[in-house]
Amino acid sequence: MSSLQTESTRGPHHQTVPAEDSGGTSSPARSDPLTDIEKLLEQSVAESTPIHLSAKNIAKNYFRGRHEVPVLKGVDLTIRKGEFLSIIGQSGSGKSTLLHLLGTLDAPSSGEIWLENERIDNVPNRQRDVLRNRLFGMIFQFYHLLPELSVMGNVLAPLMIANTTFGYLRQRREFRRRGQELLELVGLEHRVKHKPRQLSGGEMQRTAIARALINQPEILLADEPTGNLDHETGTEILEILRTLNARQNLTIVMVTHDHAIAGQADRTVRLEAGTVVNV
């Protein structure tokens, strides 16, 4: 499989507009405004696509000492299958909090998280861990790679956690093949044995993307994935995410405070005063 670095493909809801040529320095998907009729077509395609993940009237309070501080105050959000949604908002507005709640890393104070027709915020811990590993891939601003492991080691680490030692060793050839394929997908096949300290920021984030995909998740959650990268490298990472979204119909929820980065998703919402508003 070839590198996706320079690909420029539109998400599943942009089929009414011809795809751009993958000519290298491509512009963001949203650079050509849709006409009225195209907007209507796009809306009807979006509304007929099944709901993948939803937040229903979510509130989240944190305790600061003995004071309960509300961060989210009734968030309603619907994410459709194959959608690429971005969530913008100022620092401290609760973006990471919301992403963690969507990914069942934390529990809401009230409200519900649903995966299709299944409520997932209230399942018992062990079951929720299994569900999370199967459903979600996650990437972060600071990559969170393990420094002592190679690129391949980092990519395979979730499989070592998800399997017994015996199970892992029995399937290691298949797992390594999958790791290799993912590293080719993100354009890192020449860095397999490198350690994180030998990589650039962009290469570390590519490694983190490959790691997030190794368990074949349905939904990728990205928390400020370009927050620590220069503009050009950030754009390359966005190209990888957009191609994954378009080619594999991977549902993506990306949090960012960068409007230009957010604008490359299918749809953007803003977190403001504890609720979500459409942009």
The residues that touch ligand ADP, with contacts defined as CB under 6 A, are 62, 71, 89, 91-97
How many Cβ atoms are within 10 Å of 160's Cβ, its own excluded? 15
Which of residues 119 and 142 has its CB atom nearest to Mg ion in the complex? Answer: 142
Contact 89, 270 (CB under 8 A): yes
CB of 62 vs Mg ion, minimal distance in Å: 14
Closest approach of Cβ 93 to ligand ADP, in Å?
Answer: 4
Closer residue to Mg ion in complex, CB, 238/271: 271
188 or 255: whose CB is closer to ligand ADP? 255
Least distance (Å) between residue 176 CB and ligand ADP:
35
Please say whether the beta carbons of 188 and 103 come within 8 A: no
Least distance CB 260 / ligand ADP (angstroms): 18
| Residue 182, token pair as written in the block | 């993912």
Q: Which does 153 bind (CB under 5 to 8 A by kind): ligand ADP, Mg ion, none?
A: none
**With CB cut-offs between 5 and 8 Å by kind, which of Mg ion, ligand ADP, none does residue 91 bind?**
ligand ADP
Yes or no: say if 78 and 70 are a contact pair by the CB < 8 Å rule: no
For Mg ion, the closer CB: 12 or 137: 137
Nearer to ligand ADP, 82 or 103 (CB): 103
Tokens of 269: 């919402």
Among ligand ADP, Mg ion, none, partner that 93 touches (CB below 5 to 8 angstroms by kind): ligand ADP
Distance in angstroms between the alpha carbons of the first and the last residue of the chain: 36
Closest CA to 222 of 241, 196, 204: 241
Q: How far apart are CA 128 and CA 126, in angstroms?
A: 5
Q: How far apart are CA 63 and CA 105, in angstroms?
A: 18
Strands 275-278 and 67-80, bridge-based pairing: unpaired
**Residues making contact with Mg ion (CB under 5 A):** 95-96
Minimum CB separation from ligand ADP for residue 241, in Å?
Answer: 19
